Protein backbone atom coordinates (compact mmCIF):
# COMPACT_ATOMS: atom_id res chain seq x y z
CA UNK A 1 0.00 0.00 0.00
CA UNK A 2 1.43 3.36 -1.05
CA UNK A 3 0.06 5.40 1.81
CA UNK A 4 3.07 7.20 3.28
CA UNK A 5 2.97 10.29 1.08
CA UNK A 6 -0.19 11.72 2.61
CA UNK A 7 -0.26 15.34 3.74
CA UNK A 8 2.55 16.34 1.39
CA UNK A 9 2.33 18.89 -1.41
CA UNK A 10 2.95 18.02 -5.06
CA UNK A 11 3.26 20.46 -7.94
CA UNK A 12 2.22 18.91 -11.26
CA UNK A 13 2.80 20.82 -14.49
CA UNK A 14 0.50 20.18 -17.42
CA UNK A 15 -2.10 18.93 -14.96
CA UNK A 16 -5.10 20.06 -16.95
CA UNK A 17 -5.34 17.12 -19.34
CA UNK A 18 -4.03 13.73 -20.40
CA UNK A 19 -1.33 12.07 -18.33
CA UNK A 20 -0.96 15.13 -16.11
CA UNK A 21 -4.63 15.05 -15.22
CA UNK A 22 -4.41 11.39 -14.23
CA UNK A 23 -1.29 12.05 -12.14
CA UNK A 24 -3.09 14.83 -10.26
CA UNK A 25 -6.10 12.59 -9.56
CA UNK A 26 -3.92 9.66 -8.44
CA UNK A 27 -1.83 11.81 -6.09
CA UNK A 28 -4.93 13.44 -4.63
CA UNK A 29 -6.31 9.99 -3.80
CA UNK A 30 -3.18 9.50 -1.66
CA UNK A 31 -4.23 12.54 0.41
CA UNK A 32 -1.62 14.75 -1.20
CA UNK A 33 -2.27 18.45 -1.63
CA UNK A 34 -1.99 18.86 -5.41
CA UNK A 35 -0.97 22.12 -7.04
CA UNK A 36 -2.30 21.83 -10.58
CA UNK A 37 -0.36 23.95 -13.07
CA UNK A 38 -1.35 24.41 -16.67
CA UNK A 39 -1.08 26.99 -19.42
CA UNK A 40 -4.88 26.73 -19.64
CA UNK A 41 -6.24 27.95 -16.31
CA UNK A 42 -9.73 26.62 -17.04
CA UNK A 43 -8.32 23.13 -17.62
CA UNK A 44 -6.37 23.33 -14.34
CA UNK A 45 -9.51 24.48 -12.52
CA UNK A 46 -11.47 21.57 -13.98
CA UNK A 47 -8.90 19.13 -12.56
CA UNK A 48 -9.10 20.86 -9.19
CA UNK A 49 -12.89 20.81 -9.23
CA UNK A 50 -12.89 17.05 -9.76
CA UNK A 51 -10.39 16.53 -6.95
CA UNK A 52 -12.45 18.66 -4.59
CA UNK A 53 -15.65 16.77 -5.39
CA UNK A 54 -13.80 13.56 -4.47
CA UNK A 55 -12.78 14.98 -1.11
CA UNK A 56 -9.22 15.89 -2.05
CA UNK A 57 -7.21 19.07 -1.70
CA UNK A 58 -5.98 21.02 -4.70
CA UNK A 59 -5.33 24.48 -6.11
CA UNK A 60 -4.99 25.70 -9.69
CA UNK A 61 -2.44 28.06 -11.21
CA UNK A 62 -2.02 29.32 -14.76
CA UNK A 63 1.61 29.10 -15.81
CA UNK A 64 3.70 29.16 -18.95
CA UNK A 65 6.55 26.83 -17.93
CA UNK A 66 8.71 28.30 -20.71
CA UNK A 67 8.62 31.76 -19.09
CA UNK A 68 11.34 31.84 -16.43
CA UNK A 69 10.07 34.89 -14.55
CA UNK A 70 6.50 33.62 -14.64
CA UNK A 71 7.69 30.32 -13.15
CA UNK A 72 9.71 32.02 -10.40
CA UNK A 73 6.78 34.27 -9.46
CA UNK A 74 4.23 31.44 -9.32
CA UNK A 75 6.51 29.09 -7.41
CA UNK A 76 7.36 31.82 -4.88
CA UNK A 77 3.64 32.27 -4.35
CA UNK A 78 3.23 28.54 -3.82
CA UNK A 79 6.18 28.34 -1.41
CA UNK A 80 4.73 31.10 0.74
CA UNK A 81 1.81 28.78 1.46
CA UNK A 82 3.20 25.25 1.10
CA UNK A 83 6.33 23.15 1.28
CA UNK A 84 7.00 21.67 -2.14
CA UNK A 85 7.66 18.01 -1.41
CA UNK A 86 7.11 16.63 -4.93
CA UNK A 87 7.58 18.16 -8.37
CA UNK A 88 6.24 16.39 -11.45
CA UNK A 89 7.58 17.98 -14.64
CA UNK A 90 4.89 16.68 -16.95
CA UNK A 91 4.11 19.66 -19.22
CA UNK A 92 5.23 19.10 -22.77
CA UNK A 93 4.34 19.49 -26.42
CA UNK A 94 4.91 17.35 -29.50
CA UNK A 95 6.12 17.93 -33.03
CA UNK A 96 5.95 15.57 -35.98
CA UNK A 97 8.58 15.58 -38.70
CA UNK A 98 12.17 14.76 -39.59
CA UNK A 99 14.92 17.40 -39.57
CA UNK A 100 13.98 18.70 -43.03
CA UNK A 101 10.37 19.13 -41.96
CA UNK A 102 11.23 20.76 -38.63
CA UNK A 103 11.39 24.53 -38.83
CA UNK A 104 13.60 26.65 -36.62
CA UNK A 105 10.43 27.92 -34.96
CA UNK A 106 9.33 24.34 -34.22
CA UNK A 107 12.71 23.53 -32.68
CA UNK A 108 12.75 26.66 -30.54
CA UNK A 109 9.17 26.10 -29.38
CA UNK A 110 9.85 22.52 -28.25
CA UNK A 111 13.10 23.55 -26.57
CA UNK A 112 11.34 26.29 -24.62
CA UNK A 113 8.56 24.05 -23.29
CA UNK A 114 10.04 20.56 -23.04
CA UNK A 115 13.58 21.41 -21.94
CA UNK A 116 13.57 24.91 -20.52
CA UNK A 117 10.25 24.21 -18.81
CA UNK A 118 11.86 21.38 -16.83
CA UNK A 119 14.84 23.61 -16.06
CA UNK A 120 12.64 26.51 -14.93
CA UNK A 121 10.38 24.51 -12.61
CA UNK A 122 13.22 22.48 -11.12
CA UNK A 123 15.32 25.61 -10.61
CA UNK A 124 12.36 27.21 -8.82
CA UNK A 125 11.97 24.20 -6.48
CA UNK A 126 15.45 22.83 -5.82
CA UNK A 127 16.67 25.41 -3.28
CA UNK A 128 13.74 24.86 -0.94
CA UNK A 129 14.05 21.08 -1.31
CA UNK A 130 17.72 21.40 -0.35
CA UNK A 131 16.88 23.46 2.70
CA UNK A 132 14.39 20.86 3.92
CA UNK A 133 16.77 18.02 2.95
CA UNK A 134 14.02 16.15 1.15
CA UNK A 135 12.20 16.16 -2.14
CA UNK A 136 11.12 14.07 -5.09
CA UNK A 137 11.34 15.17 -8.71
CA UNK A 138 9.71 13.15 -11.48
CA UNK A 139 10.40 14.15 -15.07
CA UNK A 140 8.26 12.95 -17.95
CA UNK A 141 10.55 11.57 -20.63
CA UNK A 142 9.51 9.19 -23.42
CA UNK A 143 10.55 6.04 -25.24
CA UNK A 144 11.88 8.58 -27.74
CA UNK A 145 14.58 9.38 -25.18
CA UNK A 146 16.14 5.97 -25.74
CA UNK A 147 15.28 4.68 -29.20
CA UNK A 148 14.91 6.17 -32.65
CA UNK A 149 11.36 6.95 -33.72
CA UNK A 150 10.60 8.07 -37.25
CA UNK A 151 9.48 11.67 -37.79
CA UNK A 152 10.02 12.79 -34.22
CA UNK A 153 13.30 14.71 -34.62
CA UNK A 154 12.60 17.71 -32.39
CA UNK A 155 10.51 15.78 -29.87
CA UNK A 156 13.18 13.10 -29.49
CA UNK A 157 15.83 15.78 -29.01
CA UNK A 158 13.92 17.35 -26.15
CA UNK A 159 13.04 14.09 -24.42
CA UNK A 160 16.63 12.91 -24.66
CA UNK A 161 17.56 16.10 -22.83
CA UNK A 162 14.94 15.39 -20.16
CA UNK A 163 16.50 11.98 -19.59
CA UNK A 164 20.02 13.33 -19.15
CA UNK A 165 18.83 16.26 -17.01
CA UNK A 166 17.28 13.64 -14.75
CA UNK A 167 20.61 11.87 -14.38
CA UNK A 168 22.42 15.13 -13.63
CA UNK A 169 19.93 16.30 -11.02
CA UNK A 170 19.93 12.92 -9.29
CA UNK A 171 23.74 12.94 -9.15
CA UNK A 172 24.13 16.54 -8.00
CA UNK A 173 21.56 16.39 -5.18
CA UNK A 174 21.83 12.84 -3.89
CA UNK A 175 23.37 14.13 -0.64
CA UNK A 176 20.57 16.64 -0.14
CA UNK A 177 17.82 14.09 0.34
CA UNK A 178 16.44 14.73 -3.14
CA UNK A 179 15.53 11.87 -5.47
CA UNK A 180 15.06 12.44 -9.20
CA UNK A 181 13.74 9.88 -11.67
CA UNK A 182 12.00 9.94 -14.99
CA UNK A 183 9.13 8.00 -16.51
CA UNK A 184 9.25 7.16 -20.21
CA UNK A 185 5.82 6.32 -21.63
CA UNK A 186 5.20 4.67 -24.94
CA UNK A 187 2.08 5.63 -26.84
CA UNK A 188 -0.69 6.48 -24.36
CA UNK A 189 -4.33 7.03 -25.28
CA UNK A 190 -4.87 10.69 -24.43
CA UNK A 191 -6.88 13.52 -26.03
CA UNK A 192 -3.71 14.38 -27.97
CA UNK A 193 -3.94 11.04 -29.81
CA UNK A 194 -7.62 11.56 -30.59
CA UNK A 195 -6.98 15.09 -31.86
CA UNK A 196 -4.05 13.88 -33.98
CA UNK A 197 -6.21 11.21 -35.60
CA UNK A 198 -9.08 13.61 -36.19
CA UNK A 199 -6.77 16.13 -37.84
CA UNK A 200 -4.73 13.76 -39.98
CA UNK A 201 -6.87 10.64 -40.49
CA UNK A 202 -10.46 11.78 -40.26
CA UNK A 203 -11.62 9.20 -42.82
CA UNK A 204 -9.96 6.18 -41.22
CA UNK A 205 -9.48 7.04 -37.57
CA UNK A 206 -10.22 3.58 -36.22
CA UNK A 207 -7.87 1.89 -38.65
CA UNK A 208 -5.03 4.23 -37.70
CA UNK A 209 -5.84 3.90 -34.00
CA UNK A 210 -5.52 0.12 -34.32
CA UNK A 211 -2.24 0.49 -36.24
CA UNK A 212 -0.76 2.81 -33.63
CA UNK A 213 -1.94 0.52 -30.84
CA UNK A 214 -0.25 -2.50 -32.41
CA UNK A 215 3.09 -0.69 -32.61
CA UNK A 216 3.50 -1.70 -28.97
CA UNK A 217 4.21 -5.42 -28.54
CA UNK A 218 1.55 -5.68 -25.84
CA UNK A 219 -1.00 -4.81 -28.54
CA UNK A 220 -2.60 -1.67 -27.15
CA UNK A 221 -1.90 1.87 -26.05
CA UNK A 222 -1.25 2.63 -22.43
CA UNK A 223 -3.78 4.24 -20.13
CA UNK A 224 -2.92 7.54 -18.40
CA UNK A 225 -3.80 5.90 -15.08
CA UNK A 226 -1.01 3.36 -15.61
CA UNK A 227 1.56 6.15 -15.89
CA UNK A 228 0.05 7.85 -12.85
CA UNK A 229 0.32 4.69 -10.74
CA UNK A 230 4.06 4.50 -11.36
CA UNK A 231 4.49 8.18 -10.54
CA UNK A 232 2.70 7.64 -7.21
CA UNK A 233 5.03 4.78 -6.39
CA UNK A 234 8.16 6.76 -7.26
CA UNK A 235 6.96 9.59 -5.00
CA UNK A 236 6.51 7.25 -2.04
CA UNK A 237 8.92 6.09 0.63
CA UNK A 238 8.65 2.58 -0.81
CA UNK A 239 10.76 3.96 -3.67
CA UNK A 240 13.25 5.56 -1.30
CA UNK A 241 16.17 3.55 -2.75
CA UNK A 242 15.44 4.66 -6.32
CA UNK A 243 17.06 7.70 -7.88
CA UNK A 244 18.66 8.51 -11.21
CA UNK A 245 16.58 5.90 -13.02
CA UNK A 246 14.50 5.85 -16.17
CA UNK A 247 11.30 3.78 -16.17
CA UNK A 248 9.84 2.77 -19.54
CA UNK A 249 6.07 2.24 -19.40
CA UNK A 250 5.63 1.20 -22.98
CA UNK A 251 4.07 -2.21 -23.47
CA UNK A 252 7.46 -3.63 -24.36
CA UNK A 253 8.21 -1.06 -27.08
CA UNK A 254 11.87 -0.42 -26.20
CA UNK A 255 13.01 -3.95 -25.44
CA UNK A 256 10.67 -6.19 -27.44
CA UNK A 257 10.00 -4.25 -30.65
CA UNK A 258 12.76 -5.74 -32.79
Active site amino acids: 155
The whole-angstrom separation of Cα 110 and Cα 133 is 32
DSSP letter (8 states) at residue 222: B
The whole-angstrom separation of Cα 114 and Cα 99 is 18
Cα 68 to Cα 43, 74, 199, 213: the distances in Å are 22, 10, 32, 37
Q: How many helices and strands (H and E) does the chain possess?
A: 10, 7
Beta bridge partners of 13: 37
The whole-angstrom separation of Cα 87 and Cα 32 is 12
Helix (H) or strand (E) holding 108: helix 104-110
Q: Helix or strand or coil: residue 140?
A: strand
Strands (E), the chain: 9-13, 33-38, 57-62, 86-89, 135-140, 178-185, 246-249
Is-contact 210 2, C-beta < 8 A? no
Helix (H) or strand (E) holding 160: helix 153-172
Amino acid sequence: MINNIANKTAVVTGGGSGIGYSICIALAKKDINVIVIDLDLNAAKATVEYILTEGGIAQAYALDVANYQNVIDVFENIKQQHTIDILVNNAGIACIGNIEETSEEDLDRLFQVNIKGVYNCTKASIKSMKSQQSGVIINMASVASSVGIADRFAYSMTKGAVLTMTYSIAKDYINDGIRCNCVAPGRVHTPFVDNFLEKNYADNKQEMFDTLSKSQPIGRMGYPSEIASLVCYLCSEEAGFITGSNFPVDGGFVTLNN
